[in-house]
Structure 1
Amino acid sequence: MKALTDLLSTDYGLMSLLVIAFTIFMSIWFGRFFKRHIEEDAARAARADQSAKL
C-alpha cells in the first residue's frame, strides 16, 4: 500500500508513472509504424515482381 501511495502522491512516483505511460505509448506507436512500413514495402516488392514478369 505504501508503494501505491508513493507512486500516486510523490514527485518521483508521478514521474515514474509518466515514464511508464510514455514507454507503453511509444512501444505501441513503434509497433504500428513498423507494421505499416513493412506492409508498404511488401506491396511495393510484389508490384515490382509483377511488373518484372511482364
Structure 2
Amino acid sequence: MAAIKILFTTDVGLMSLGVIAFIIGMGTFFARLFRRKMREDAARAAAGGN
C-alpha cells in the first residue's frame, strides 16, 4: 500500500507513471503502424504491384 501512495504522491512516482503511460502509448502506436504497413504491403503484393 505504501508503494501505491509513493507512486501517486511523489514527484518521482508521478514521473514514473508518466514514463509508463508514454511507453504503453508508444507500443500501441508502433503496433498499429506496423500492422497497417503489413496490410498495405500484402494488398500491394496481391494486386501484383511492386
- What is the TM-score normalised by the length of structure 2? 0.91
Q: CA RMSD in A?
A: 1.1
- Residues 14-39 of structure 1 show CA distances to partners (whole Å, capped at 9, x for unaligned) of 00000001111111111000000000
Q: Given residue 8 of structure 1, which amino acid in structure 2 is its aligned partner?
A: F
Say how many residue pairs are matched: 49
Which structure 2 segments of 5+ residues have no match? none
Task: Determine what percentage of the aligned residue pairs are the same residue.
Answer: 55
User: C-alpha separation between the residues in 1 aligned to 2:12 and 2:42?
Assistant: 44
Structure number with bigger Rg: 1
Q: Spell out, residue by residue over 1:1-52, the C-alpha distance to the aligned partner (whole angstroms, 9 max, x if none).
A: 1101100000100000000011111111110000000000000011117xxx
Structure-1 separation of matches of 2:43 and 2:4: 48
